[in-house]
């Protein structure tokens, strides 16, 4: 039997996931395969590099740094989260990601990107974070706040647009049971995106991607309904925030981030029956 781990995105709400994963690491919990989308991919790789505390540490330290993310960066580069600083300087120099430990784990880790020309998700195994940083960046590049990431002459943005909770991928690839970490509380229902946004940004050049954004709420809510059924069937176990802590997608408040991280830790401890 193979057990997989599925990590939802949610931008800075992903520090909840980081809290859960840190408790898992502290208790030697392991999985046969992992898939993450958007922040789930960006933060989830630290689980295989065994860097407890790294996600909350660097987000609290750098989120207020205008070189890391800011409207200045957005107007100057087209990316609210500065690509060179956040995906280059920080993981390679300032808070170094342990790519060797990551590779030595030999646990398959998959990330999802959305091809904005086809409007379809693409799944890639991340064998080296340093060598495949652009794939992770593409997975986490939020529409409207990011330039498309070019990889092999194709353009990509946030994988969550087309597969927000990628449990189907794992089930179809031979994982018999799953642990799914969500970043939204129980009974959350996604609302539709205003059409004017997609018309303004993507409709002309990338109509298939624009449609996927407009329909994302339908896809997400259907995924949640099916996930609830799988949970009742005991195919999956779900960890989700036990209370609502309001954190924006580009949250800079260190205290809010810490509170959400600690909630993740608390919920993980309850999941493992440690408290």
Whether 246 and 185 have beta carbons less than 8 Å apart is answered as: no
pLDDT at 122 over 70: yes
Residue-wise pLDDT for 151-167, tens only, equals 999 999 999 999 999 99
Q: Which residue is associated with the tokens 């799914």?
A: 180
pLDDT at 233 over 90: yes
What's this model's pTM, rounded to 2 decimal places?
A: 0.96
User: How high is the pLDDT of residue 275?
Assistant: 59
User: How high is the pLDDT of residue 194?
Assistant: 86
Q: Is 77 exposed, middle or buried (0-12, 13-18, 19+ CB in 10 A)?
A: middle
Residue 40 makes CB contacts below 8 A (sequence gap 6+) with 6, 7, 8, 9, 10, 14, 17, 181, 183
Percentage of the residues of the chain whose pLDDT score is greater than 90? 90
> Residue 73 phi/psi, 5° resolution?
-65, -40
pLDDT at 135 over 90: yes
Residue-wise pLDDT for 78-107, tens only, equals 999 999 999 999 999 999 999 999 999 999
User: How high is the pLDDT of residue 40?
Assistant: 97
Helix (H) or strand (E) segment spanning residue 62:
helix 54-62
223: confidence class by pLDDT, cuts 50, 70, 90: very high
- Return the number of other C-beta atoms located less than 10 Å from residue 174's C-beta: 11
Percentage of the residues of the chain whose pLDDT score is greater than 70? 100
Q: What is the mean pLDDT of residues 107-120?
A: 98
Q: What is the mean pLDDT of residues 6-18?
A: 96
């Amino acid at each position: 039997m193979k057990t997989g781990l599925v990590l939802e995105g949610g931008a800075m709400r992903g520090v909840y996931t980081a809290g859960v994963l840190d408790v898992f690491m502290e208790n030697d919990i392991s999985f046969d395969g992992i898939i993450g989308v958007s922040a789930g991919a960006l933060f989830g790789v630290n689980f295989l590099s065994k860097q407890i505390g790294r996600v909350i540490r660097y987000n609290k330290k750098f989120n207020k740094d205008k070189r890391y993310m800011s409207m200045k960066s957005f107007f100057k580069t087209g990316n609210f989260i500065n690509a060179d600083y956040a995906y280059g300087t920080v993981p390679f120099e300032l808070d170094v990601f342990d790519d060797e430990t990551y590779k030595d784990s030999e646990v398959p880790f998959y990330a999802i990107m959305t091809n904005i020309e086809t409007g379809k998700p693409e799944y890639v195994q991340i064998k080296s974070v340093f060598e495949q940083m652009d794939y992770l960046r593409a997975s986490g590049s939020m529409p409207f706040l990011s330039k498309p990431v070019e990889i092999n002459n194709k353009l990509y943005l946030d994988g969550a647009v087309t597969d927000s909770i990628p449990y189907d991928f794992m089930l179809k690839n031979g994982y018999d049971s799953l642990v799914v970490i969500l970043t939204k509380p129980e009974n959350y229902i996604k609302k539709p995106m205003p059409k004017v946004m997609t018309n303004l940004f993507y409709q002309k050049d990338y109509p298939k991607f624009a449609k996927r954004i407009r329909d994302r709420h339908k896809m997400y809510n259907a995924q949640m309904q099916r996930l609830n059924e799988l949970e009742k069937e005991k195919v999956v176990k779900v960890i989700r925030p036990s209370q609502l802590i309001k954190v924006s997608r580009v949250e800079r408040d260190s205290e809010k981030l810490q509170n959400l991280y600690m909630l993740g830790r608390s919920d993980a401890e309850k999941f493992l029956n440690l408290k």
